[in-house]
Structure 1
């Protein structure tokens, strides 16, 4: 078991577990992390990944699901038995079914190869912010959520944009709260339907699309810059932090 690699002279408070069996891609990713002063640990198999995730407690896992010994969804489900560490899947599989399977298993994000270094870093920063937010609020009830001009008062059941309350249907408000509590994370259609409708039956999908469209219109009507809900076609939706580039 090797220690995390750190840039010389830099103390990196957050650590990344890179799970990738392709030596070239693993070298590219780890070099990118090192150049940003991030500590990292690398694993080439699923068994190594699970062992290191358990032993080292990384802040984010970058996971290639096509490993020689285990399928990525099995790794994700195993890690999720004890940890909610953000998991970003880095995969050559571009089919929607593969993305949905990984996200439904518990992954937070999905990046298709080949990807740019800038896109990888943007996704990584979002995952680290989400992890910091969750650790900072562990064990506490969160009353408010703020994202640019948007402010949600969970205890009062209200949402405001630039201080003005926006009137939402109950389903629109539940969707908004679900996305806000998972800001930065891609939520699949199945996850959203189960959380809001209590059932993932496919016949509810048209209703989800309609309510999501009206929710967006109300937010953007209140403030054009309040365009924080993004569609992942064939997969689901994500709320991004305003002021960040969409990835």
Structure 2
């Protein structure tokens, strides 16, 4: 894979933006595949297996959210939503459904390229063996199998997105240490912006839900409001909530 150009699937129906994205991606060394509707995007995705997707939401046949929902049934290929919709609820919905990032139009070319690189770095995180722990981590009933990138609570496997896993993985490599929001964001996404903390909180809320955290129940990740998150050491009594 390292000898080939990364493939970027662009799903956008506005021709001028399509041309801009096509030129921008190719100028930065990426191979591009173009689709102008949700249906054609799904077909291109299935046949070309891109490394990353840039997805518009306002498509002529279906909302881009339909594309995201469909591929997230089986795949974790990074998706950057590129949309004119700037409402927080739209961003939260897309992130909740598995988008790796959300960029609003109009966008800066350098910023978009940086986010593409960051998303690819995130999805290839597991490839850097020298940077990753091997073996397993356990605290209470929580077990992380680093080499398989799988998380269990008791006998139940917890299905996490790649971003959610990378957050849990990062916290587990520093057990007992409070990691600031900005540190986590930089390590997981590679950059900081005004929406970074919100993006982290959305992902953490999803982790909390998947971990089945309820008030008074045992948990594994402690949130110090305004500061950051900490993975409990195995010696701690797990009583705090995420």
Q: TM-score range by the shorter chain?
A: 0.5 to 0.7
Q: Which runs of 5+ in 2 are unaligned?
A: 130-144, 150-168, 191-195, 215-220, 231-242
| Residue 33 of structure 1 pairs with residue 25 of structure 2 | yes
* 1:50 to 1:190, Cα distance in 2 relative to 1, 3 A: same
| TM-score of the superposed pair, with normalisation by structure 2 | 0.62
CA distance in 2, matches of 1:54, 1:47: 11
String of CA shifts for 1:8-58, please: whole Å, max 9, x gaps: xxx743110000000000000000111122101000000011111111111
- 1:208-245 per-position Cα deviation (integer Å, ceiling 9, x unaligned): 9x7242338x9xxxxxxxxxxxxxxxxxxxxxxxxxxx
Report if the CA contact (8 A) 1:152-1:158 is conserved.
Answer: no
Q: Does 1:154 align with 2:172?
A: yes
The Cα offsets for residues 189-209 of structure 1, whole Å up to 9 and x where unpaired, read as 4542242365699xxxxxx9x
Q: CA deviation at 1:153?
A: 7.8
Structure 2 Cα separation of the partners of residues 74 and 18 of structure 1: 15
Contact map agreement 1:18 1:61 (CA 8 A) in 2: yes
Structure 1 match to 2:205: 193
Q: 2:213 and 2:53 mapped to 1: Cα distance?
A: 28
Residues 1:114 and 1:94: Cα distance change in structure 2 (over 3 Å): same
Give the drift of 1:133.
Answer: 1.6
Q: Which residue of 1 aligns with 2:13?
A: 21
- Following TM superposition, where does structure 1 have runs of at least 4 consecutive aligned residues deviating by more than 2 angstroms? 134-139, 151-155, 185-191, 196-201
Q: How many residues align?
A: 179
| 8 A Cα contact 1:16 1:58, kept in partner | yes
Indicate the residue corresponding to 1:80 in structure 2: 72
Aligned-pair distance for 1:82? 1.7
- The DSSP-based 3-state class of the residue aligned with 2:120 is helix
1:70 equivalent to 2:82? Answer no
Cα contact 1:191–1:200 (8 A) shared by 2? no
Distance 1:66 1:58 in 2: 21
Does residue 211 of the first structure (1) align with residue 218 of the second (2)?
no
